[in-house]
Amino acid sequence: MDNIVKKVEEIIKRDSLSYQEQAVDHYDFWGEHIKYVYNEAIALAEKYKADSEIVRLGALLHDIALVRKVGDRENHHTNGRIIAEEILTELKYPEDKKVKVLGCVEHHRSSKNAMNLEELCVADADILAHFDNIPMLFHSMFTRKGVSLKDSRDYMRETFKKDFQDLSEHTKKEFKGRYKEICKTVLGDEYE
Ligand SMILES: [Fe+2]
Ligand SMILES: [Fe+2]
């Protein structure tokens, strides 16, 4: 398992670096997002007894279309599936397992789309990663000019709410306490 996961991790880190070199804001995809998704996904796979290799590869590859700047954001899950298939085929990854990883990539945008435990782990991890790296949210606020503090807070509140709603019921239940604390600390809100 470690071999294929290591190889894919190297590919993602390399692609992320070239994205970072070209992007105007030098966004570090690996360091600011994928690393967090990967770690959350590993923890969820263990907790939900999902196939760890499938989940790890799904987490590493889930945003590959964004990292490689292929197509638009709206379709990055379907474009990502195509790119992930090319990568895994190149690495001679077995067909039956490949299909499962591709499902994780295609269905990562909400736990509501998840067809199995592995897909659910990747979708939930993608959301939890936002809460692990709140400075990234501030960064995206501050790079938008002329936004008032009130609008910033409303934007963050909506983002948090949508993320929380997109979690699977089980993860939502477990995460609720931390979510409440985050809303209180970051937004100055009481939890509703
Ligand atoms: Fe995504
Ligand atoms: Fe993501």
The CATH number that applies at residue 15 is 1.10.3210.10
Non-local (6+) Cβ contacts of 139 within 8 A are 25
C-alpha of residue 120 to centroid of ligand 1, in Å = 14
- When divided into structural domains, the chain yields a total of 1
The pLDDT, as a whole number, for residue 21 is 95
C-alpha of residue 148 to centroid of ligand 1, in Å = 27
Q: Is residue 155 one of the residues assigned to a domain?
A: yes
Rounded CA gap, 31 and 122, in Å?
A: 17
C-alpha of residue 62 to centroid of ligand 2, in Å = 6
How many helices (H) and strands (E) would you count in the chain? 11, 0
Sign of the alpha-carbon torsion through 174, 80, 70, 75:
negative
Q: Is residue 102 one of the residues assigned to a domain?
A: yes
- Owning domain of residue 170: 2-187
Q: Is residue 24 one of the residues assigned to a domain?
A: yes
Return the ligand number nearest the Cα of 76. 1
Q: Is residue 7 one of the residues assigned to a domain?
A: yes
C-alpha of residue 126 to centroid of ligand 2, in Å = 5
The pLDDT, as a whole number, for residue 177 is 95
Rounded CA gap, 67 and 61, in Å?
A: 9
C-alpha of residue 181 to centroid of ligand 2, in Å = 23
pTM of the model: 0.92
Return the ligand number nearest the Cα of 125. 2
Using an 8 Å Cβ cutoff, are 41 and 125 in contact?
Answer: yes
C-alpha of residue 129 to centroid of ligand 2, in Å = 8
Q: Is residue 183 one of the residues assigned to a domain?
A: yes
The pLDDT, as a whole number, for residue 133 is 94
The pLDDT, as a whole number, for residue 136 is 86
Neighbours of ion ligand 1 (CB under 5 A): 63
For the chain, the distance separating the N- and C-terminal CA atoms, rounded to the nearest angstrom, is 43
Give the phi and the psi of residue 168 in degrees, each rounded to 5: -70, 160
Return the ligand number nearest the Cα of 130. 2
C-alpha of residue 48 to centroid of ligand 1, in Å = 22
Q: Is residue 42 one of the residues assigned to a domain?
A: yes
How distant is the alpha carbon of residue 12 from its chain centre?
Answer: 13
pLDDT per residue of the chain (192 residues) written in tens, 0 to 9: 669 999 999 999 999 999 999 988 888 999 999 999 999 999 999 999 999 999 999 999 999 999 999 999 999 999 999 999 999 999 999 999 999 999 999 999 998 999 999 999 999 999 999 999 999 888 877 777 678 888 888 888 999 999 999 999 999 999 999 999 999 988 887 655
Q: Is residue 192 one of the residues assigned to a domain?
A: no
